[in-house]
Amino acid sequence: MKVLCILYDDPKGGMPSSYPVENLPKIEKYPDGQTLPTPKGIDFNPGELLGCVSGELGLRKFLEDAGHTLVVTNDKDAPGCVAEKELVDADVVISQPFFPFYLTKERIAMAKNLKMAITAGIGSDHVDLQAAMDNKIDVMEVTFCNSRSVAEHIVMMILSLVRDYHNQYRIINEGGWNIADAVQRSYDLEGMHVGTVAAGRIGLDALRKLKHFDVHMHYFDRHRLPESVEKELNLTFHDSVESMVAVCDVVTINCPLHPETENLFDDEMIGKMKKGAYIVNTARGKICNRDAIARALESGQLSGYAGDVWFPQPAPNDHVWRTMPNHGMTPHTSGTSLSAQARYAAGVREILECLFAGEDQRTEYTIVKDGALAGTGAHSYSEGSATSGSDQITFGSGPFQAIITTD
Ligand code: NAD
């Protein structure tokens, strides 16, 4: 089979010759008892860069030894790019949400041999799931591989926004020491009301981690958590996003992007939030309306916005979220720590081993199967597509970047 893998660029200075931490901690199971990926073997050292082009997700030896072809590229956006050309006869496409290859309806129509799209990570909204269903292309992701990595990032971002870390760090880097400047927007998180839109693997883990900060915790999800969990964490359940955001000082967004959640945080929803609240969105950029977020930061309706997800990705140089006031944005990194890469590379290999052997895939890894949402896909997504606008992409790098829109 031909496997096409779209990965992000190597480090500018080349692949590292060593890493800061020598051995990753051993983790056997996720909190709900799900096992970590169980491929028959791996050909990489956990802790090394795997998500970039030279890292190849550690797949080349495994695939070539078994007689398959692996094509790896980072050229993914312009019409006629390498990924589009190679897609034409690919059997499997692997892409990471951090540097997504938008598998639109038009691209799916080009891919006559395509059997499976694998997300090396979690969140398959870069695939037109409706087109995948219509064309009987299975969609898989490595469920849980980086959910806890993201939950750590959420806690980091909530604390850094509320305490105003970025401003204080900047003052020090600029050689300053004005403490009044450094604290005029700085608060304790303790006692605040924190709510999550969705309490799946990430949302629930973030709540568990936040419990220790003595905050009041709220959630909204289309699937209510068991009573025992609500009691354990002293959670307040809301039956709508509106009801929850009206009482929260901090809102974290943790649902997948699909037609029900696209543009959920628009001017109207943000207007229903407590004045001066904070949003942390590590779910998907398109769940928040780009310009509504910038407007709310300008007006003070929001005190801060942080996250690592943008639309499209890579984000254009002039994306307003790079320059709006009181933001704490990072590139899309929370789910691709070196620790997470080891898990999702192993998970992709497990999925490929099952595919080649004609064995059943794990239900929890399944998003689309045999033309319908299935497994985690049926639990967490809705039918339809959320890839529109993905043709507004930045090509090239540095000062010569341009946004090109195709019809
Ligand atoms: P999950 O499937 O465990 O949880 C998703 C939850 O969202 C489920 O509980 C589901 O019921 C809920 N949900 C779905 N639609 C909803 C709606 N309309 N309203 C309310 N709740 C809704 O997935 P997860 O591991 O928690 O990941 C969630 C999302 O986070 C992913 O789909 C992805 O978009 C994003 N993510 C981002 C990164 C990153 O690096 N930033 C990494 C992993 C995942």
**Domain boundaries along the sequence of the chain:** 2-145+337-404, 147-322
* Ligand 1 site, CB within 6 A: 121-123, 146-147, 150, 197-203, 220-223, 254-257, 260-261, 282-284, 308-309, 332, 334-335, 376, 380
- 2-145+337-404 CATH: 3.40.50.720
C-alpha angle 293-261-407 in degrees, rounded to nearest 5:
80
pLDDT band at residue 390, thresholds of 50, 70 and 90?
confident
- List pLDDT tens digits, range 135-155: 999 999 999 999 999 999 999
Annotated catalytic residue, options 96, 289, 313, 341:
313
Q: What does the pLDDT average to over 249-255?
A: 99
CATH fold match for the domains 2-145+337-404 and 147-322: yes
| Catalytic residue list contains 284 | yes
CA of 402 to the centre of ligand 1 (A): 32
60 as an active site residue: the answer is no
Bridge-based pairing of strands 138-141 and 116-119 is parallel
Record the pTM.
0.95
For the stretch 12-71, pLDDT in tens is 999 999 999 999 999 989 999 999 999 999 999 999 999 999 999 999 999 999 999 999
* Mean of pLDDT values over 357-362: 98
Give the CA count within 13 Å in the CB-facing half-sphere of 165: 14
Which one from 96, 107, 126, 146 is the annotated catalytic residue?
146
- What separation in angstroms does the CA of 147 have from each of 4, 230, 343, 347? 25, 20, 11, 14
Q: Cα–Cα distance between 128 and 141 in angstroms, integer?
A: 14
Query: Active site residue: 201, 258, 284, 343, which one?
Result: 284
Is 223 a known active-site residue? no
| End-to-end C-alpha distance for the chain, whole angstroms | 32
Annotation marks residue 332 as catalytic: yes
Give the chain's mean pLDDT. Answer: 95
Q: Helix 147-162 crosses helix 165-173 at what angle (to 10 degrees)?
A: 70
CATH node for 147-322: 3.40.50.720
Question: Ligand 1 centre from 371 Cα, in Å?
Answer: 21
Q: Pick the residue whose CA is nearest to atom 14 on ligand 1.
A: 380
- Structure-token match 């006869």, residue found: 89
Q: Identify the active-site residue in 332, 343, 349, 362.
A: 332
Candidate of 125, 150, 223, 255 to mutate for ligand 1, largest count of ligand atoms within 8 Å of Cβ: 255
Conformational region of residue 137, where left means phi above 0, alpha means psi within -120 to 50, and beta covers everything else: beta
Average pLDDT over residues 88-92: 98
